[in-house]
Amino acid sequence: MTRTITHFVDGAARPGNGGRTAPVMNPSTGREQARVELASAAEVDEVIANAEQAQVGWAKTNPQKRIRIIMKWISLINDNIDELARTLSLEHGKTFEDAKGDIARGTDVLEFSVGAPHFLKGEFSNSVGTGIDVYSMRQPLGVVAGITPFNFPAMIPLWKAGPALAAGNAFVLKPSERDPSVPVRLAELFIEAGGPAGVFNVVHGDKESVDAILDSEVIQAVGFVGSTPIAKYIYERCAATGKRAQCFGGAKNHMIILPDADLDSAVDALVGAAYGSAGERCMAISVAVPVGKETADALRAKLEERIPDLKVGHSLDPEASYGPVVAKPALDRISQLIDEGEAAGAELVVDGRGRGANDAEFDGESLADGYFIQPTLFDNVTTDMSIYTEEIFGPVLCIVRANDFEEAFRLPDEHVYGNGVAIFTRNGRAAREFADRIRVGMIGVNVPIPVPIAYHTFGGWKASGFGDLNQHGPDSFRFYTRTKTVTQRWPDGVATGADFSMPIMD
């Protein structure tokens, strides 16, 4: 019988009422491995109501006690990381080691959240006026929600849930229906760590569920990661209903390679950043910008030499460089964009279409129907082509040649997306100028995927991010709390009469 993935509510699995389900596929084989229940709007409202009841007691819990639960949660996640990574690989398609990295980067933020008692401290001013003191305190918002993508089914839910829970909120997670098992397991481990029932609920669904979250009067804030059109939709709808929102969208990340760069190091970095996880990362490098013909020709030659060494295979194959993409529609879209690039006149140096996995089977399972695409390389791409303007979200790398530094600089600076960018050079002055001027949220200098560590914020600019506060780092506690300011005086019992003027502190 096909396994059914249920919602997780009030500390336990909760079967749905509506009967709607969606398939959960194994991308390596193209076969269905489970069904996930899809909640109706009424069911989402019930989940939110349960969280609202649980949040009151959780907010009253001493922050240090909340943190001890999160510390235990971290320990349980680490104890179960192999199980989590295997499940993640089989539903998403990324390799086992890559899946472990997905989980580890999530627990990094949980570890940062252990500092919640410090981040929740307010401010105090003594004697701002005669006998008058002022202090502020940071308090949780109440019930908050995360709507998270398929490409990081552990990391991004933990990025959202960790700071939200540490700050005293209840958290409702709507994960991707494509790979929902790991988010449910993370919620189970939170309960095993001692977390109260109802504080971390998981509800599965589609647009109906998302809209129910956005329209709820109880939900106070929404964190989202996904495509730019949906990020913009969620941001606007949250604004209309008075919710806080941090919404992160698409990307088109460039790597600038200056003539003085260590080209072998740049190629190593580029191959991993472009083709790792089948290109299904919001921080993947999809555009290489070599400066000067000599640099471009040498870069292309080295890429042509390296790409055939990559192995595309089953997500649990320890020899695989990367696995399948997540779904057949994703595979079809990537292939269509490659078609468009070729038709537009870009030079298709390495064509990955229709070539499947390197092996016919793995562990007795046929890979013939898996969602595999081999690494693809274009050269002489121009800025009017769809393979340059659109986020492909697949293992496709475009070379856009630039004559000089300024021409190279303008490419990421003027692109509609502004998530991440990298520059490879030995010239410190050029790198410093680049980092200072570029209109992109995250910059790598001789680092291919400039993902900040947990105590620095993560977020893009322009069409890559909507909202003024980013994920993790200090911004996360600012996002999931609000400040209350108290002005207090303890009178001595002597009446002074009414004052109808604006008070002046003296």
Q: pLDDT tens digits, residue range 335-347?
A: 999 999 999 999 9
Beta bridge partners of 25: 32
φ, ψ of residue 206 in degrees (nearest 5): -120, -150
Q: Residue 238 catalytic? A: no
The answer to whether 391 and 416 have CB atoms below 8 angstroms apart is no
pLDDT score recorded for residue 432 = 97
Please list the ranges in the chain whose pLDDT falls under 70.
Answer: 1, 506
pLDDT score recorded for residue 172 = 98
Which candidate in 238, 247, 282, 398 is catalytic?
282
Q: Give tens-digit pLDDT for 395-433.
A: 999 999 999 999 999 999 999 999 999 999 999 999 999
pLDDT score recorded for residue 451 = 83
CB atoms within 10 A of CB 139: 16
Rounded to two decimals, the pTM is: 0.96
pLDDT score recorded for residue 492 = 81
Structure-block tokens of residue 283 = 């921080």
Structure-block tokens of residue 28 = 């390596």
Can you list the pairs that 233-242 forms with residues at least 24 positions away whose Cβ atoms lie under 8 Å? 234/147, 234/210, 235/466, 235/467, 237/211, 238/214, 241/214, 241/215, 241/217
pLDDT score recorded for residue 66 = 98
Rounded to an integer, what distance in angstroms lies between the CA atom of residue 309 and that of residue 17? 50
Residue 16: name the closest of 43, 42, 35, 34 by CA. 43
pLDDT score recorded for residue 383 = 98
DSSP state of 142: S
The answer to whether 111 and 188 have CB atoms below 8 angstroms apart is no
Burial call 347-378: b when 16+ CB within 10 Å, e when fewer = eebbebeeebbbeeebeeeebeebbbbbbbbb
